[in-house]
Amino acid sequence: MRSYIALAAFGLVVTTSSLSAQQNALQTAATALRVSQIKTLQMTGSGANFSVGQNYTSTEAWPRVTVKSFTTLANYDTGSMRVELVREMGATMPKGGGAPFFGEQRQIMLVSGNYAWNMPAGPQGANAMAQPAPDAVPERMLGLWASPVGFVKAAMANNATTKVAGGKTTVAFTVGGKYKMEGTINAQGQVEKVRTWIDQSIVGDMLVETTYSGYKDFGGLMHPSRMVQTQDGYPALDITFSGVMINPPVDIQVPQNVRAFQPPPVRVESQKLADGVYYLTGGTHHSLAIEMADHIVVVDTPNNEARAEAVLAKAKELIPNKPIRFVVTSHHHWDHLGGIRSAINEGATIVTHQSNKAFLERVAKTPHTIAPDHLASSKKPLKIQTVGDDGRLTDGKRVIELHRLQGYDHTGDMLIVYLPAEKILGEPDAFTPPAQAGTALIPPAVPSAKALNDNIKRLKLDVQTIAPFHGNRTTTVAELEKAAASPATN
Summarize as ranges the residues that interact with Zn ion (CB under 5 A).
97, 333, 429
CB distance 348 to 324 below 8 Å: yes
Taking the complex as a whole, the smallest distance from the CB of residue 310 to Zn ion amounts, in Å, to 21
CA distance 247 to 255: 23
Task: Pick between residue 115 and residue 469 the one whose CB is nearest to Zn ion.
Answer: 469
CA angle, residues 228, 247, 124, in degrees to nearest 5: 75
CB distance 33 to 166 below 8 Å: no
Task: Pick between residue 432 and residue 465 the one whose CB is nearest to Zn ion.
Answer: 432
Question: Within 10 A of 272 (CB to CB), how many other CB atoms are there?
Answer: 10
Taking the complex as a whole, the smallest distance from the CB of residue 55 to Zn ion amounts, in Å, to 10
CB distance 466 to 431 below 8 Å: yes
- Residue 488 is which amino acid? A
Taking the complex as a whole, the smallest distance from the CB of residue 363 to Zn ion amounts, in Å, to 17
CA distance 27 to 338: 42
- What residues contact 59, with CB distance under 8 A and at least 6 apart? 355, 358, 359
Question: Within 10 A of 390 (CB to CB), how many other CB atoms are there?
Answer: 11
Taking the complex as a whole, the smallest distance from the CB of residue 384 to Zn ion amounts, in Å, to 20
CA angle, residues 388, 389, 391, in degrees to nearest 5: 70
Taking the complex as a whole, the smallest distance from the CB of residue 429 to Zn ion amounts, in Å, to 4
Termini Cα distance of the chain: 42
Taking the complex as a whole, the smallest distance from the CB of residue 333 to Zn ion amounts, in Å, to 3
CB distance 105 to 93 below 8 Å: no
CA distance 148 to 145: 8
Task: Pick between residue 97 and residue 113 the one whose CB is nearest to Zn ion.
Answer: 97
Going by C-alpha positions, the residue among 145, 144, 146 that lies closest to residue 212 is 146
Taking the complex as a whole, the smallest distance from the CB of residue 96 to Zn ion amounts, in Å, to 8
- How is residue 200 annotated by DSSP? E
CA distance 279 to 422: 13
CB distance 289 to 315 below 8 Å: yes
> 427: part of which helix (H) or strand (E)?
strand 424-427
> Residue 408: phi, psi to the nearest 5?
-120, 110
Taking the complex as a whole, the smallest distance from the CB of residue 430 to Zn ion amounts, in Å, to 9
Task: Measure Cα distances from 403 to 406, 407, 448 in Å.
Answer: 9, 13, 16
CA distance 232 to 312: 28
Taking the complex as a whole, the smallest distance from the CB of residue 428 to Zn ion amounts, in Å, to 6
Taking the complex as a whole, the smallest distance from the CB of residue 134 to Zn ion amounts, in Å, to 23
CA distance 69 to 52: 19
Task: Pick between residue 209 and residue 429 the one whose CB is nearest to Zn ion.
Answer: 429
Task: Pick between residue 139 and residue 427 the one whose CB is nearest to Zn ion.
Answer: 427
- Strand segments, DSSP code E, in 258-412 are 269-274, 277-281, 287-291, 296-299, 324-328, 349-353, 383-387, 390-394, 399-404
Task: Pick between residue 291 and residue 300 the one whose CB is nearest to Zn ion.
Answer: 300
Task: Pick between residue 333 and residue 368 the one whose CB is nearest to Zn ion.
Answer: 333
Task: Pick between residue 351 and residue 371 the one whose CB is nearest to Zn ion.
Answer: 351
Q: Residue 100: left if φ>0, alpha if ψ -120 to 50, beta else—which one?
A: beta
Among all residues, whose Cβ is closest to Zn ion? Answer: 333
Task: Pick between residue 80 and residue 330 the one whose CB is nearest to Zn ion.
Answer: 330
Task: Pick between residue 97 and residue 150 the one whose CB is nearest to Zn ion.
Answer: 97
Taking the complex as a whole, the smallest distance from the CB of residue 433 to Zn ion amounts, in Å, to 17
> Residue 131: phi, psi to the nearest 5?
-105, 110
Taking the complex as a whole, the smallest distance from the CB of residue 19 to Zn ion amounts, in Å, to 48
Task: Pick between residue 60 and residue 462 the one whose CB is nearest to Zn ion.
Answer: 60
- Residue 41 is which amino acid? L
Task: Pick between residue 223 and residue 332 the one whose CB is nearest to Zn ion.
Answer: 332
